[in-house]
Amino acid sequence: MILKHSHMLLSLFVTIAVARTARAQDDSPETHRGALTVKSDANVGTSVTQRTPGIAGAERVLAVLRRDDAISRPVGYTVSVRRFTAAHHDGDLPNMQYRYGVRGDAVYFGIADDGKGQTTIAANGGSYNFQLTVNAVGYPAEMDNSDRELDGGPRVLGADEGGVETYRVTGQLHGRPIYGGNCTYVSRKPVPPIIPVTKQRYIELELLRARGDSSRHATRQVEVGSAPISDQLERFLRDRPKRDADNQKTIAELKKAGIDDASLTQMREAFKKAEADQESALRSSVAGGGDRQLNDIVKQGRAGEAEKIRQLHDQLDAMSPTERRSPAILSPLGRGMFRLARAEDEDSLPLMQPNPAFFDRSLAPEVPQVIWVCIDGLQGFPDKRTYEHHAEGSEEYDRDKKHAERVARDVSKIRDGLDWSALEALIKP
């Protein structure tokens, strides 16, 4: 609590200092000078003996970042970073007991109104994130994922139906691929640290998932039997707070992605209507008796699960050995479902996994073997998703498009000002 309070006070002092400097210089958000702030270290699940070499390694990465003028002497935005260490999870590559590096964000300046007719410049104009991670691969959320893959194999990367965190190769940087316009790496080996998931592994994982769902539903059916609809209504009402929290989380993520307020309002209303409709249906079933209908629905669902398992078996059996070894590329169907697709499809999502043959197990865990670099918009292309949902030519469209182009320019400066040779020197034997 004391640490959190200290951070709040520090943030307040920084805002006040920014505002005073802005008034003194009479400048604009675009020309206002920011600063590089190093926050306290973050340690997630690492032991004391792991943190010491991890933070020391992170400091060496941070020293390279400090030499990038776009990070150490920003104009129009301010930069904050923290060194971190984090324990590895099931699905991470062998011998990598922990990962470490630097996480940061750049926050743009904007105009703040105190409600009394006075305006100041404050760090409130949007932001983007970056992360340089040693001895781990993937987008940050994937690295933090503690779930174990059903087959016990390496983490599956890239199944993002939103198409944000993808592994489509969109360009090259210093001889390394750029994935999804956001991520690349430097490494001590010529072999890539990530490789495609094969179609065979993907389908076998889907089979394990389908069988698990079927088994769980069968067990639940035995436990519940022909539970009265009233019991379902009771559970429905009991679980409402959790559904509300999930809906709010979805709204927050969409808002962060740039969805306009009108669309968010419509989604809130849709959630509210769906909740009311489901409750009404359950109450009607209680009044009219719906056990037989429920059992029919359960039977249909179980039959559908059996059919899905059969189709997956048939799909795998029909593949030649060559096709089984080919890369799994997905196309999203919505609601967390996918189908196998072609690489040339516009919404294609190549599935990747850490390369088990990449890491040298004879080296100590703290020895850097790969530095994975992710910066929102690393390739320097404006993120059209931030403004495409607006009507072209509208005030919102023009404003968000201008900001996206500005972010692309600034990220390009960071990318081009970064001493990539110095990063490579950190991992050379």
Q: Is residue 396 part of a domain?
A: yes
Question: Which of 384, 374, 378, 385 minimizes the C-alpha distance to 413?
Answer: 378
In a domain, 329, yes or no: no
pLDDT score of 407: 96
65 and 90 belong to one structural domain: yes
- Which of 271, 296, 315 is the last residue in one of the domains? 315
Res 94: pLDDT = 63
Residues 237 and 179 in one domain: no
Give the tens place of pLDDT for each residue, 132-162: 999 999 999 999 988 889 999 999 999 998 8
Residue 350 binned pLDDT confidence (cut-offs 50, 70, 90): very high
Residues 273 and 388 both lie in one domain: no
Mean pLDDT of 100-120: 91
Query: What pLDDT, on the 0 to 100 scale, is given for residue 297?
Result: 66
Q: Quick one: 67 and 142 in the same domain? A: yes
- CA dist 129 and 109 (Å) reads 15
Regarding whether 169 and 41 lie in a shared domain, the answer is yes
Residue 335 domain-assigned (yes or no): no
Q: Give the model's pLDDT for residue 10.
A: 40
What pLDDT does residue 305 have?
A: 85
Host H or E run for residue 98: strand 98-108
Q: Yes or no: say if 231 and 286 are a contact pair by the CB < 8 Å rule.
A: no
Is beta strand 77-87 parallel, antiparallel or unpaired with respect to 98-108? antiparallel
Residue 334 has pLDDT above 70, yes or no: yes
Residue that has been written with the tokens 């760090």 in this structure: 123
Give the model's pLDDT for residue 292: 60
Question: Is 50 exceeded by the pLDDT of residue 257?
Answer: yes
Structure tokens given for 152: 């016990």
End position of a domain, from candidates 265, 292, 315: 315
Instruction: Give the closest residue to 70 by CA, choosing from 370, 371, 378.
Output: 378
Confirm whether 320 is domain-assigned. Answer: no
Asked whether residue 263 falls in the same domain as residue 296, the answer is: yes
Mean pLDDT of the chain: 86
Find out whether 81 and 62 touch, Cβ atoms under 8 Å. yes
- Is the pLDDT assigned to residue 11 strictly greater than 80? no
Q: Which two tokens stand for residue 393?
A: 């030519």
Determine the structural domain holding residue 281 and report its residue range.
200-315
207-241 residues labelled b (16+ CB within 10 A) or e (exposed): beebeeebeeeeeebeeeeebbbeebbeebeeeee
Does 29 map to a domain? yes
Average the pLDDT over each of 208-212, 221-225, 277-281, 408-412 and give the range with the smallest value: 221-225
Domain boundary among the residues 298, 315, 332 is at: 315
DSSP 374-415: EETTTT----GGGTTTSPTTSHHHHHHHHHHHHHHHHHHHHH
Residues 357 and 225 in one domain: no
pLDDT of residue 95: 63
User: Is 124 found in the same domain as 161?
Assistant: yes
- DSSP bridge partners of 106: 79, 128
Bigger pLDDT: 238 vs 71: 71
Per DSSP bridges, beta strands 77-87 and 42-44 are parallel
Return the biggest CA–CA distance within the chain: 76
Segment 64-97, tens digit of pLDDT: 999 999 999 999 999 999 999 999 887 776 667 8
Q: Is position 332 within any domain?
A: no
Give a yes or no: residue 237 inside a domain: yes
- Tell me the C-alpha to C-alpha distance, in Å, between residue 370 and each of 62, 188, 247, 350: 15, 7, 38, 21
- Domains identified in the chain, total number: 2
**pLDDT tens, position by position, 283-318:** 776 665 555 665 666 677 778 888 989 999 999 999
> What is the average per-residue pLDDT within 262-275?
83
- Can you list the positions of beta strands (E) in 228-369? 329-334, 337-340, 349-350, 352-354
47 plus 181 within the same structural domain = yes
Residue 391 has a pLDDT of 94
Give CA–CA dist 177/171, Å, rounded.
Answer: 6
pLDDT of res. 24? 44
State the sign of the Cα–Cα–Cα–Cα dihedral 73, 74, 75, 78.
negative
Query: 53 with 387: CB under 8 angstroms?
Result: no
Q: Is 162 strand, coil or helix? A: coil
Kindly state whether residues 30 and 142 are assigned to the same domain: yes
Asked if 133 and 253 sit in the same domain, the reply is no
User: Average pLDDT of 224-243?
Assistant: 74
Hey, what are 420's tokens? Answer: 């990539």
208, part of any domain: yes
| Domain shared by 281 and 209, yes or no | yes
pLDDT for 236 equals 85
Tokens of 128: 């983007």
Give the N- to C-terminal CA distance of the chain in Å, as an integer.
Answer: 43
